[in-house]
Amino acid sequence: MSIERGMAFSVLPTPRIHFGTGTLLKLPALTAVYGRNLLLVTGRQTLRRSPAASGIFDELRRAGLEVTCLEVEREPSPELIDDAVALGRVKPFDVVVAIGGGSAVDAGKAISAMLLQRDPVERFIEGQPGFTPHDGRKVPFIAVPTTSGTGTEATSNAVISRVGPGGYKRSLRHPTFVPNEAIIDPALMTSAPPELTAASGMDAFTQLLEAYLSPFASAWTDAISCSGLECFSRSFELACGKGAGDVAVRGDMAYAALMSGIALANAGLGIVHGFASSVGGLFDIPHGTLCATLLAESTRENIRQLRASEGGEPGLHKFANASRILTGSVTGNLVDDCDRLVELLERWQERFVFPRLGEFGVSESDFAEIIAATRSKSNAAPLDASAMRRILAARV
């Protein structure tokens, strides 16, 4: 890979990262640095399902921390955030810790960002009427992911959803919202069931691929994306099957998700995540599932558009390189290598039985509203309404 002379790029902050098996044991001491009054945000089943996490509540108490618990069942709504902030005004928190999947970590991130504000969270959500930029003040936040998907442990945004007619799925964002600390312990992920592992893994993979193909990518984000793709390709299928309990396999997937978060924060995402925002605001579809069901067809459409474009060859070479990383081989023919990537994604789609959009109530009558609300400025190729319609139609 050659780096253009004089290339300029900026890098957003990253958390202080603690990666490796057993790093969860650092949590009490890391938390105590910020204060004694702790809000602990978890998924509904997180502490019950994970043997590695089951004793952490008692460990925090033994460290002299006063712990208030909040369980999150699904992607955070503005009401959940506002209610938690109201609780924090009665009993101020020194630090927020989130242990769980992407929804729990996003909820914790948003709560930490709103505890020092007086206005409701919707005032600060991008794209909402009356949007006001956040001033960046927050309560210290520690992220502890238990799934390998969103990479939110390394990003500066929290996704907030209001699902239904007129709904939205948009970000609360500021550079200071990056977690102060991120504890990534692969042992926490060994109890994730196969369907969750597959869907969250496809979210991480989509983020790696979309950030790699983004027009805003740099040599730095390309290196991060490819590093994540290497680990993902080695362990994705194992994590969904016989290697589910192997911390080395889970470590690969956790690393891929972490790299996807860093890459997307600095390069942006493409059409799959554009649809995740528009479709996800209208229909109650898990984020990873939505990415998984749209990725193969979106990749096919992007490759089609790049082939028809005079300046599309660099993007095709990147798709071909991603194909090489995932399949372990390369034909030397740009067309064939890109096609092999689409074929692999379609095999995963069939093997893991990713549901179609129609199973969640999406129909062709919804396409116009979805397309009008979909943004994809960081996509690999410009896509018009007809191209977006083809992607959706193939997965209804």
- Residue 93 falls inside a structural domain: yes
> How many residues are there in the chain?
396
Written as one string, the DSSP assignment of 221-265 is HHHHHHHHHHHHHHHHHHHTTTTTT-HHHHHHHHHHHHHHHHHHH
Per-residue confidence (pLDDT) for residue 194, from 0 to 100:
96
- Residue 307 falls inside a structural domain: yes
Claim to verify: residue 234 and residue 349 sit in the same structural domain = yes
Per-residue confidence (pLDDT) for residue 2, from 0 to 100:
53
Distance between CA atoms of residues 357 and 324, nearest Å: 30
Do residues 268 and 378 make contact, with C-beta atoms less than 8 angstroms apart? Answer: yes
Per-residue confidence (pLDDT) for residue 102, from 0 to 100:
95
Claim to verify: residue 223 and residue 175 sit in the same structural domain = no
Q: For position 74, which CATH number holds?
A: 3.40.50.1970
* Residue matched to tokens 């067309």: 335
- Residue 5 falls inside a structural domain: no
What is the chain's pLDDT, residue by residue, as a tens digit (396 residues)?
455 555 788 899 999 999 999 999 999 999 999 999 999 999 887 777 777 777 888 899 999 999 999 999 889 999 999 999 999 999 899 999 999 999 999 999 999 999 999 999 999 999 898 999 999 999 999 999 999 999 999 999 999 999 888 889 999 999 999 999 999 999 999 999 999 999 999 999 999 999 999 999 999 999 999 999 999 999 999 999 999 999 999 999 999 999 999 999 999 999 999 999 999 999 999 999 999 999 999 999 999 999 999 999 999 999 999 999 999 887 888 999 999 999 999 999 999 999 999 999 999 999 999 999 999 999 999 999 999 999 999 999
- Residue 289 falls inside a structural domain: yes
Claim to verify: residue 247 and residue 363 sit in the same structural domain = yes
Distance between CA atoms of residues 393 and 301, nearest Å: 12
Claim to verify: residue 185 and residue 198 sit in the same structural domain = no
> Token pair for residue 75?
């992607």
Q: For position 365, which CATH number holds?
A: 1.20.1090.10
Domain boundary among 163, 189, 215: 189
Using DSSP's 3-state secondary structure scheme, residue 42 falls into: strand
Claim to verify: residue 72 and residue 209 sit in the same structural domain = no
Claim to verify: residue 259 and residue 219 sit in the same structural domain = yes
Range of the domain at 21: 16-189
* Residue matched to tokens 């969103």: 150
Domain boundary among 161, 189, 217: 189
* Residue matched to tokens 């699904």: 74
> Token pair for residue 47?
């502490």
Claim to verify: residue 390 and residue 302 sit in the same structural domain = yes
Using DSSP's 3-state secondary structure scheme, residue 158 falls into: strand
Claim to verify: residue 175 and residue 229 sit in the same structural domain = no
* Residue matched to tokens 């943004």: 375
Per-residue confidence (pLDDT) for residue 1, from 0 to 100:
46
Contacts of 40 (CB under 8 A, 6+ apart): 57, 60, 67, 68, 69, 70, 97, 98, 99
- Residue 11 falls inside a structural domain: no
Claim to verify: residue 243 and residue 130 sit in the same structural domain = no
Claim to verify: residue 286 and residue 330 sit in the same structural domain = yes
- Residue 114 falls inside a structural domain: yes
Domain count for the chain, please give it.
Answer: 2
| Amino acid occupying residue 119 | D
- Residue 2 falls inside a structural domain: no
Distance between CA atoms of residues 214 and 382, nearest Å: 11
- Residue 304 falls inside a structural domain: yes
Per-residue confidence (pLDDT) for residue 314, from 0 to 100:
96
Claim to verify: residue 136 and residue 242 sit in the same structural domain = no
Domain boundary among 189, 209, 231: 189
Do residues 198 and 147 make contact, with C-beta atoms less than 8 angstroms apart? Answer: no
**Taking the CB of residue 127, how many other CB atoms lie within 10 A of it?**
11
Using DSSP's 3-state secondary structure scheme, residue 307 falls into: helix
pTM of the model: 0.95
Question: Quick one: which of 1, 46, 2 has its CA closest to 24?
Answer: 46
Claim to verify: residue 161 and residue 200 sit in the same structural domain = no
Contacts of 64 (CB under 8 A, 6+ apart): 32, 36
* Residue matched to tokens 């996800």: 280
